[in-house]
A = this chain, B = another copy of it.
Amino acid sequence: MPQPTSERRGAGRPPRISRPEILAAARAVIDAEGVAKLTMRRLAREVGSTPMALYHHVRDKEELLLLLLAEYAAGMPRPALPDDPRERILAVATGMRDGLAGCPWIVEVLAADDLLASEALWYGDRIVDAFMAGGLATEAAVHAYRAIWYYTAGEIIVRASAGRRAEAGRPTYRETVFADVDAAEYPRLAEIGADWIPLTAQDAYADGLSALVDGLLARAA
């Protein structure tokens, strides 16, 4: 079994590459050229080794990405916590989203499982706690947290893929579609017309979040 790293130092051949070194190189590739460019072969080249050497330090590519996620999540900022439950939820959720926005690939890759990398548990814990402070029962608080996670993950993923498309010079589907919206069939969209694009480019995360939290907290009464 290939164990993570040197169990008993001194035995056998000395390592030429280490897991931290591999992770650092992987992060560099992603930051510079995007997650799509991160391949085992490329990474091997980057650390001056062979693809197979990597498999001595990580089980497979999936584990590599998981490790990168854990590392990133550990470094995310933890906002100050206001006393008011509602404000607390907003602060934590916004912190989570701002943190994740800095590395959208991570959400794309893992598409979630709740971002329950153990380093990110804090966000979930604080949000559940604040909903309970706001009057929700435990179960309702967990569901409320999930709603916020769905909203946040959706926002990040949609934004990230729109960004990717724009970068690739693709005509972002909706631009082509809005050129000929049938006013009879879709009256509202026809009315909005070209305004749709700048409108949806605006950052409305905070507005929607605040509405969602209001709606969720209203269940407490």
Other 16 A-B pairs with CB < 8 A, given A111-B160, A213-B215, A214-B214: A113-B158, A113-B162, A116-B173, A116-B177, A121-B181, A125-B187, A128-B188, A128-B189, A129-B188, A142-B196, A143-B199, A143-B202, A147-B208, A150-B151, A151-B212, A153-B157
State whether the Cβ of A207 lies closer than 8 Å to any Cβ in chain B: yes
Q: Which residues of B contact A204 (CB under 8 A)?
A: 143, 146-147
Classify the interface of chain A: helix, strand, loop or mixed.
helix
Query: Chain copies in the assembly?
Result: 2
Closest B residue to A69 using CB positions: B173
Chain A interface residues toward B at CB < 8 A: 66, 108, 110-114, 116-118, 121-122, 124-126, 128-129, 132, 138-139, 141-144, 146-147, 149-155, 157-158, 160-162, 165, 172-174, 177-178, 181, 185-189, 191-192, 195-196, 199-200, 202, 204, 207-208, 210-216, 218-219
